[in-house]
Amino acid sequence: MFRRMKEDIQCIFDQDPAARSTFEVVLTYSGLHALWSHRVAHALFKRRFFFLARSISQISRFFTGIEIHPGATIGRRFFIDHGMGIVIGETCEIGNDVTIYQGVTLGGTGKEKGKRHPTLRDNVLVATGAKVLGSITIGENSKVGAGSVVLKDVPADSTVVGIPGKVVVSNGVKVEQKLDHQALPDPVADKCNMLENEIQKLQNRLAQLEQNEHDKVKEGNL
């Protein structure tokens, strides 16, 4: 246990240049507190002490702002940087040497049963505010860009960005994005064109009715 705790502290020194002393890390790093609390809660969860496990996770959430379900499986050297707002679901599986930042959600997409949360392989990085949703897999050494919403599997050694997430780098090679900026949809312009067409139809119809009425008046005069 103490070996793992020492490894967790060393991981912070390796990842965060702002870490100055062991005393500071142990007392002030909420990500470390959340991880250690999760280990206790996860051990209780595996022994079917569900209520006690959830209680510990919620107390940890209150003090750290990081919610990790006690059922989640987390590997070694897991680094949470500025962890406020992080949510990790029950069936998440996180490998070794994974890094996630504030506001990240590793969640589900509905009320499905069974495996419903993401799997993060080794050396994955999930940047600020990203949402990884559903029973999907983020491959080894992959990166998820800030603010992205990932709903599909990401292959190893890739970078994914955007809403929904799209792979932009794979195995160090930039993936060509076929996007014609001159042909992007414009819903406001489309609606205006539709209204203009409807107005033109009404004007044509009104003109036809007026012409018919004029013809009838002319025939009556004759």
The DSSP output letter for 117 is: S
pLDDT digits (tens, 9 = 90+) for 4-32: 888 888 889 888 888 889 898 899 889 99
**CATH fold of the domain at 2-174:** UDP N-Acetylglucosamine Acyltransferase; domain 1 (2.160.10)
pLDDT digits (tens, 9 = 90+) for 121-137: 999 999 999 999 989 99
Look at residue 182 and tell me whether its pLDDT is greater than 50: no
Look at residue 179 and tell me whether its pLDDT is greater than 60: no
What was the pLDDT predicted at 19? 85
Query: Pick the residue with more confidence: 118 or 163?
Result: 118
User: What gap in Å lies between CA 78 and CA 36, rounded to an integer?
Assistant: 11
pLDDT digits (tens, 9 = 90+) for 32-81: 999 999 999 999 999 999 999 999 999 999 999 999 999 999 999 999 98
pLDDT digits (tens, 9 = 90+) for 197-222: 999 999 999 999 888 888 777 776 65
φ, ψ (nearest 5 deg) of residue 151: -120, -5
* Bridge partners of residue 161, in order along the sequence: 166
pTM: 0.71
Euclidean distance between the first and the last CA atom of the chain, given in angstroms as a whole number: 109
Look at residue 183 and tell me whether its pLDDT is greater than 80: no
User: What gap in Å lies between CA 80 and CA 187, rounded to an integer?
Assistant: 40
Look at residue 94 and tell me whether its pLDDT is greater than 50: yes
What average pLDDT does the structure give for the chain? 86
